[in-house]
C-alpha cells in the first residue's frame, strides 16, 4: 500500500492539473501551485499517538506550510463501518483543507477485528488529546480545531467532539486538557447507533463492531451522538444524501432537529438522490458540499480570507 506521504504528493499533483482555481480565486498556474505545495507542505507519517491493548495507534501530520506558525487544523477520521478502512485509503479527502492552508491530522483507530466497541471512540479521544499536547510542536491552533469524517468517521468525529469527560470514554488517555473543538464536519455519519444495530436498518458492520458484547443496546445508546445533544456544543455541519441505503438519511434529520431544539449551531446540507459515499456523487455535488463546509467554517471564524 502506498504511504500517506506518497498519496498526498500524487494527489497534490492531480488536484493542480484538474483545476486552476482555489475557492473561485484564480491562482498563477497549476504548476506554480503544485511546486509551492511540494516544497512548503511537510508530512510526518505514522506517529504513534497511543498504545492500547498492545496495539500502536498511529496518525499522520500534514502541515500546510512551516510548522512554527499555528494554523487551523483538521482532524480527519476515516470511515469503513468501524470494521475496515485505513487512514491511507482516505487521505485524499483532506486535500481541499490543505489547499485552504489548514494543517491536517489523519487518524487511525482500532477497527472491529482488533477491538470491539467502544475502542474506536476511546482511540479518537486519545488522538484529540495528543493534538492538544503537541500543538506547539506542529503548529496546531487549538482554538481552531475541526473534526471531520465520512460514515463511521462522521460518527466518530461527532462523538469525539460532543463528548465530555463524564461520558467515561477518556480512561485510556486521561488528562486535564479541556478537549473542545471549534467545529465538526459530519459526512453521513451514524447518529443513532441502535438504529443500525438492530431492526429494519440493521447493518452487518454495526453488528460486527459489537460482536458478542453484553448489554449491546445500552452501550449502543451511549455511543450515539444523539445522546449527547445539548447547548454549548461546537458548530456542526452535516452532509447527507437522501437516498442513503446504509446510514438512513432520517438520522441526519433527527440530529439537525435535536440540535435546533437546544439552540446548538448547526447546518444540514442534503444531497438530493445522494447515495452512501461522496465518491459516488458527481463533481458538482462534491464541490457544493465542500464550498458549504468552507462557508460554514468562515461563518464561525475558523478560516478566513483577506
| pLDDT score for 305 | 55
Q: Is the pLDDT of residue 226 over 60?
A: yes
CA distance 43 to 108: 16
Q: Is the pLDDT of residue 228 over 50?
A: yes
Q: Is the pLDDT of residue 13 over 50?
A: no
pLDDT per residue as tens digits for the range 152-211: 999 999 999 999 989 999 999 999 999 999 999 999 999 999 999 999 999 999 999 999
Residue 270, all three cell numbers: 442534503
Structure pTM? 0.91
Q: Is 70 a member of any domain?
A: yes
Q: Is 241 a member of any domain?
A: yes
Domain membership of residue 164 as a residue range? 43-299
| pLDDT score for 67 | 81
Among residues 204, 234, 244, 250, the alpha carbon closest in space to that of 302 is found at 234
**pLDDT averaged over the chain?**
90
> Which of the two residues, 202 and 20, has the higher pLDDT score?
202
Q: What is the largest CA-CA distance in the chain?
A: 59
Q: Is 202 a member of any domain?
A: yes
Q: Is 4 a member of any domain?
A: no
Least confident of 6-10, 111-115, 186-190, 250-254: 6-10
Q: Is 11 a member of any domain?
A: no
Q: How many domains does the chain have?
A: 1
CB distance 141 to 70 below 8 Å? yes
Residue 33, all three cell numbers: 501551485
| pLDDT score for 109 | 98
Q: Is 53 a member of any domain?
A: yes
pLDDT per residue as tens digits for the range 44-84: 999 999 999 999 999 999 998 778 889 999 999 999 999 99
Q: DSSP assignment, residue 13?
A: H
**The domain spanning residue 272 has which CATH number?**
3.40.50.1820
Amino acid at each position: 500500500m502506498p504511504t500517506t506521504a506518497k498519496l498526498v504528493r500524487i494527489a497534490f499533483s492531480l488536484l493542480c492539473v484538474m483545476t486552476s482555481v482555489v475557492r473561485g480565486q484564480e491562482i498563477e498556474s497549476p504548476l506554480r501551485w503544485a511546486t509551492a505545495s511540494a516544497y512548503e507542505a511537510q508530512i510526518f507519517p505514522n506517529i504513534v499517538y497511543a498504545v492500547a491493548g498492545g496495539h500502536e495507534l498511529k496518525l499522520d501530520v500534514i502541515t500546510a506550510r512551516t510548522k512554527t506558525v499555528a494554523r487551523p487544523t483538521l482532524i480527519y477520521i476515516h470511515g469503513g463501518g468501524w470494521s475496515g478502512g485505513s487512514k491511507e485509503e482516505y487521505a485524499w479527502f483532506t486535500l481541499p483543507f490543505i489547499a485552504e492552508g489548514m494543517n491536517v491530522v489523519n487518524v487511525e483507530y482500532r477497527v472491529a477485528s482488533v477491538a470491539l466497541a467502544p475502542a474506536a471512540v476511546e482511540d479518537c479521544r486519545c488522538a484529540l488529546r495528543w493534538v492538544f499536547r503537541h500543538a506547539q510542536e506542529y503548529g496546531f491552533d487549538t482554538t481552531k480545531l475541526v473534526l471531520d469524517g465520512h460514515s463511521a468517521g462522521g460518527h466518530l468525529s461527532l462523538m469525539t467532539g460532543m463528548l465530555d469527560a463524564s461520558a467515561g470514554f477518556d480512561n485510556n488517555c486521561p488528562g486535564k486538557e479541556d478537549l473542545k473543538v471549534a467545529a465538526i464536519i459530519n459526512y453521513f455519519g451514524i447518529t443513532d447507533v441502535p438504529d443500525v444495530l438492530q431492526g429494519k436498518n440493521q447493518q452487518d458492520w454495526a453488528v460486527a463492531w459489537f460482536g458478542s458484547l453484553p448489554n449491546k443496546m445500552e452501550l449502543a445508546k451511549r455511543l450515539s451522538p444523539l445522546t449527547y445533544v445539548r447547548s454549548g456544543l461546537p458548530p456542526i455541519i452535516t452532509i447527507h444524501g437522501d437516498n442513503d441505503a446504509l446510514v438512513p438519511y432520517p438520522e441526519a434529520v433527527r440530529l439537525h432537529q435535536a440540535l435546533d431544539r437546544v439552540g446548538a449551531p448547526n447546518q444540514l446540507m442534503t444531497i438530493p438522490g445522494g447515495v452512501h459515499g461522496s465518491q459516488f456523487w458527481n463533481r458538482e455535488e462534491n464541490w457544493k458540499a465542500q464550498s458549504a463546509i468552507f462557508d460554514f467554517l468562515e461563518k464561525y471564524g475558523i478560516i478566513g480570507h483577506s
